[in-house]
């Protein structure tokens, strides 16, 4: 009976531990000249798995996914696009963004216990410098770069520059 209890406890502990990731994820950029940095647990890549290669890549500011949740507001950058193929590089330029096949959003000042963000920015689809590129793809791991121009509710422009990422599809 004691051995059964020990095995049961060991199984419960093993099931409660998160799956080990192959390598650490990272995402960083400059937003209006200020650093935006996310950490491994704050980054999520979700390929939709359909023929279009649609995916969602989102990241919150470093520490935003910690437990207990941070008391200070966090920012969230979300990129939704198509064309992601396992093992293949891809480049989306400004012409691609004008066709409404990609979207980028930035929510600044998200309160962790609910409520509206302080500000929300959306992609300026007419900006010639919008680019998202997967430079290397190996299995479920992708590295690349991005830059965008976002606009706020008043129409003011906000530049997202020197963006780079190393992300992994951690879905089952």
- pLDDT tens digit string along 49-75? 767 788 999 999 987 776 776 777 889
Q: What is the pLDDT of residue 100?
A: 67
- Nearest-CA neighbor of 130 among 157, 169, 165? 157
Torsion of CA 121, 122, 127, 129, to 10 degrees: 80
pLDDT at 19 over 50: no
Mean residue pLDDT across the chain = 82
Q: What is the pLDDT of residue 101?
A: 75
As given in the structure block, the two tokens for residue 112 are 């962790």
Torsion of CA 68, 73, 74, 80, to 10 degrees: 110
Domain ranges of the chain: 23-168
Give the number of residues written for the chain: 172
Q: What is the pLDDT of residue 18?
A: 42
- Contacting residues for 14 by C-beta, under 8 A, at least 6 apart: none
Model-level pTM? 0.81
């Amino acid at each position: 009976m004691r051995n059964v209890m020990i095995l049961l406890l060991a199984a419960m502990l093993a099931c409660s531990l998160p799956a080990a990731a192959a390598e650490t994820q990272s995402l960083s950029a400059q937003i209006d000249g200020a650093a935006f940095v996310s950490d491994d647990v704050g980054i999520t890549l979700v390929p939709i798995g359909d023929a279009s290669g649609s995916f969602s890549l989102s990241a919150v500011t470093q520490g935003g996914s910690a437990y207990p949740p941070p008391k200070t507001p966090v920012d969230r950058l979300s990129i939704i696009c198509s064309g992601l193929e396992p093992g293949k590089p891809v480049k989306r330029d400004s012409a691609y963004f004008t066709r409404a096949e990609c979207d980028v959003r930035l929510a600044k000042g998200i309160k962790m216990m609910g409520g509206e963000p302080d500000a929300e920015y959306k992609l300026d689809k007419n900006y010639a410098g919008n680019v998202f590129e997967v430079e290397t793809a190996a299995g479920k791991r992708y590295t690349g770069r991005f830059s965008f121009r976002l606009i706020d509710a008043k129409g003011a422009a906000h530049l997202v520059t020197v963006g780079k990422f190393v992300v992994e599809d951690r879905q089952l």
